[in-house]
Amino acid sequence: MPIKSIKGCIGCEECIKSCPTDVIRLNPDSKKAEILYPEDCQICHLCRMYCPVDAITITPDKSIPVIVSWG
Amino acid sequence: MTTESKNMSRRKFITLAGAGAGFAAMAGFGMNLDWALNKPEIDTDALGINKISTDVLVVGSGMAGLFAAVKAHDAGANVMMVSKGRLGASGQTPFAKGIFAYDKDKEEISIDEFVAKVSRSALGTNNQAYTRQLAEHSLARVNELREWGFFESSLYNKSFSKPIEERNIPLQERVTITHLIKEDERVVGAAGFSIDEQKVLFYEAKSVILCTGAGGFKPNGFPICDLTHDGTIMAYDIGAKVTGKEWNDGHPSRGENPAACYDGWGDMFEQKPGTTGIEVRHDLGVDMNYMAYMNGGAAQMGPPGMGNQDNKVKGGPFTPEEFTKRDRGDGPPPGGENRKRPPRKEREDGPPGMGRGTVVGGSSAGMSIHKAEGLVPINDKCESTIKGLYAAGDALGSYMAGGIYTQIGSSLSGSAVQGAIAGETAANYSKNVKSHSISTSKLNSIEEEILAPLKREAGYSPAWVTQTLQSIMIPNFIIYIKKENLMRAALAYVEELRDHHVPHLRASNLHELRLAHETKNMVISAEMKLRASLMRKESRCSHYRLDYPEMDNENWQAWINIFRGKDGTMQLEKQPFDTVNQINSVRNKETV
């Protein structure tokens, strides 16, 4: 996984706004950020750098889906 | 490609009537179509529609967009800024840490000498009017950035927000613009959708400035996965000429975890920005791809250059002798304040962003050279071939640097300089233009095109079409080490995606809708890249043909412009190098 977890989120939405590829969204119930589209993470760390409480963990690996003949 | 699809109008191309018919037929044979079925998460009928009017619409919120909005406002126009991402935090701007400033009191060479040196490195591919403009205006832009606090933080949102908020310039973020609107032979607005507000948005504008950056094929290892040539393709769709598609950015990535952009650049993304002074280079990158191709595998990086010096192979991309010295190390060039910057971590294996240890190619695949690809300018004022449409930064094919990287830090300052000029020019143009109400039929047809992937009952996922495109385009033997037969083969595949997959793209939500439009733009951009690369039967700067390895000055002192022909097909033409400079010099003489 590229962006791995968000722990201790305060719901400020900085990471949501700063993600260039729209990977993170605000959970309407918990009002906290959640990782919704991790496959589109480009591992640029902008979300982590904008997070004021250091809640985001990112790893350098990316599991690329296997190639299929249609999908 | 069938005759029917070849002559298809653009609207049909997107909204292809009965796009689900083929899938319905497959269901008739009893096939399980779960993989193809669209499972909409939103009700398209419930999406709101907003129409907004402004004088100047700035699309994009990176360095070019910032200055376009500020300068258009300061020239007296009502301005609105829309961004697919966030002000100062999307596109390539947030990752660029060096900004070139020509300070005549510090530099040893004149602007004339600077332009001449860039032109020698660029082998004539640069547009001297824009090279000169960069040097002349860069310090003023850098000084303004300093006032806004740009150099005080590694993150740019706060400093970018200062001048925008001070001027009360309306800003809409996370809005994907999909269409430019042209009526009466001029630009009259744009359209797109907001991910957060769940609305289709129409903008009526007297002029539009595209600050949409460049793009790639959502490659692994370079932070451009949000850049898909949106501005270029939107402009192409309404008849604009675009250029620069055959050139290649040659950045590699690390062999280990190649998708990790941040890790590939060390701690550079967390550095505060600094200025750079004159250091004209000839940074190919694509020479590494040649080395890997000839040696049959990944390349070993080693300081101080981009390739392992012991591993050199004969032939390959040409570097002028004046620029072959590799004694620069990985430090910043002299002249700027970066001299004082502390050393970066882990710098023993090679320059940041150029990989460490074993490297693999194609981290920025699909991207040309900064400022080389994009809309064709008709003068040195960032004006496109469509009335009322301007572009700046990486969305403008200004050839400020040429078909090769020539001046470190010029990517960022070039965007600032051009953004400012485009903003002022668009504002002045708008003063003499009346507001235009876009026709209802036009609004309806565009809304249909925007939402089409959401309404399809079945189709292909954007992720799969993108992945297929990547498999066709990114291999070294297609996009970097070019040859006729393989590019023709790749073009056949790309035409297949264009004609039989793009019209069937599906989207179940607004995230996927954005991906669907991005995918379509990437497919068209791939076609442009292949056709331009096939046409340029020579090697020069970052364009390398294995079957035409020499530079051909007799036939190829020319740029390639691409435009949509009357029958809807892609057309290509030559434009002699440095035409804009010649036009301007004639104009200046007339003025005198």
Mean pLDDT, rounded, for A11-19: 98
pLDDT (tens digit per residue) in B2-13: 233 333 344 444
Cross-chain residue pair A71–B461, CB shorter than 8 Å: yes
Provide the pLDDT for residue B583.
55
Report pLDDT digits (tens) over B28-49. 677 777 788 998 898 888 888 9
Taking only the tens place, the pLDDT of each residue in B265-297 is 878 999 999 999 999 998 878 888 999 999 888
pLDDT of residue A71: 72
What is the mean predicted confidence (pLDDT) over B530-549?
A: 97
pLDDT at B585: 54
DSSP string across B188-226? EEEEEEETTTTEEEEEEEEEEEE----B-SS-SSSS-TT
d(CA B43, CA B435): 33
pLDDT tens sequence across B131-178: 999 999 999 999 999 999 999 999 999 999 999 999 999 999 999 999
* Residues contacting B51, CB < 8 A, separation 6+: B201, B202, B203, B204, B443
CB contact under 8 A, A20 and B90: yes
pLDDT (average), residues B92-105: 96
Residue B20 confidence (pLDDT): 56
* pLDDT for the residue B353: 55
What are B338's two structure tokens? 């970066």
Match domain A3-58 to its CATH number in 3.30.450.80, 3.30.2310.20, 2.30.30.30, 3.30.70.20. 3.30.70.20
Computed over every residue of chain B, the mean pLDDT equals 88
Chains A and B: how many Cβ contacts under 8 Å? 91
Residue pair B397/B242 in contact by the 8 Å Cβ criterion:
yes
Q: What residues does B209 pair with on adjacent strands? A: B58, B390
Q: What residue spans define the domains of chain A?
A: 3-58
Q: Taking CB atoms and an 8 Å cutoff, what residues of chain B touch A20?
A: 85-86, 89-91, 223, 225-226
Chain B nearest CA to A33, separation (Å): 14
* Whole-number pLDDT of residue B324: 83
What is the percentage of chain B residues whose pLDDT exceeds 90?
74
Averaged pLDDT, B102-130: 95
Q: Are B222 and B253 in contact (CB under 8 A)?
A: yes
Mean pLDDT of chain A: 92
pLDDT digits 0-9 by tens, B119-140: 999 999 999 999 999 999 999 9
Using an 8 Å CB-CB cutoff, list chain B residues near A19: 85
Instruction: Extract the runs of DSSP E, i.e. beta strands, from chain A.
Output: 3-6, 24-26, 33-35, 56-58
Q: Average the pLDDT over A59-71 and give the result.
A: 78
The residue ranking higher by pLDDT, B183 or B300, is B183
Residue B587 reports pLDDT greater than 60 = no
Secondary structure class of B540 (helix, strand, coil): strand
pLDDT greater at residue B344 or residue B406: B406
Q: Which residues in chain A have their CB less than 8 angstroms from residue B89's CB?
A: 17-18, 20, 46, 50
Give the three-class secondary structure for A67.
Answer: coil
